[in-house]
Amino acid sequence: MTTTDTSTTTGTATPELVVLLDEDGQAVGTADKAGVHDADTPLHLAFSCYLFDDAGNVLVTQRALHKRTFPGVWTNSCCGHPAPGERLEDAVRRRVEQELGTTVTDLRLVLPRFRYRAEQDGVVENEMCPVFVGSVPGAASQTVSADPDEVGDVRWEPWLPFRAAVLDGTRAVSAW
C-alpha cells in the first residue's frame, strides 16, 4: 500500500502520509493517512506524548467529537504520525505546536517499542507508537490554545491520581 505525491500544478493538496511498518518495526512504504484507518488498518508508525507542567500535573486532552477515529475519547496530551523521513522528536514538537499552540521542553522517549491495536465503531488503530514525556514550563499560567479540529477539551490533572485511576480502571482513556 504505497502511495505517491498526488499534488499537481493545479493546487491539489499533497496528502498527509503515514509510514507503514513490518512486524519488526521497519519502514516498508507509505499510505495516505485519510484512507489508512479502517477495519483492516495496516501497522504504521505513530507517537504519543504526555506533557507536564512545573507542578507535576499532566495535560490530558479529549479528541474532537467530529474526528473519524476515536471521537470524544480522553487521551494523552498529544499524538500523531511522523511524516516519512521526519525524526520522531521533530514530529512530536510539530504536533504539540499545531494541536495545542504551545512548545515542549525536556522531551524524552520513555517507551520506545510501545505497540497497540484498538478498535472503536469498526475503525482500527494498529500502531507502533513510541511514548514521549515533556515539559511545558510555566504551564499553570499558560493558556493552551487547542485546535478544535483535533481537540475537544483539555485539562491539567495531578499525575498520581490520574495514573492511579487509569491503572485501576476507573478512568477511561485511549489505548495509546
Catalytic residue ranges:
79, 127
Length of the chain as a residue count: 176
Q: How far apart are CA 75 and CA 77, in angstroms?
A: 7
- Sign of the dihedral defined by the CA atoms of residues 76, 81, 86, 91, in that order: negative
CA 134 → CA 2, 32, 36, 77, 163, distances in Å?
33, 28, 28, 10, 16
Asked if 172 contacts 118 with a C-beta cutoff of 8 angstroms, the reply is: no
Nearest C-alpha neighbor of 83 from the set 68, 70, 95, 99: 95
Asked if 51 contacts 136 with a C-beta cutoff of 8 angstroms, the reply is: yes
Nearest C-alpha neighbor of 21 from the set 11, 31, 12: 31
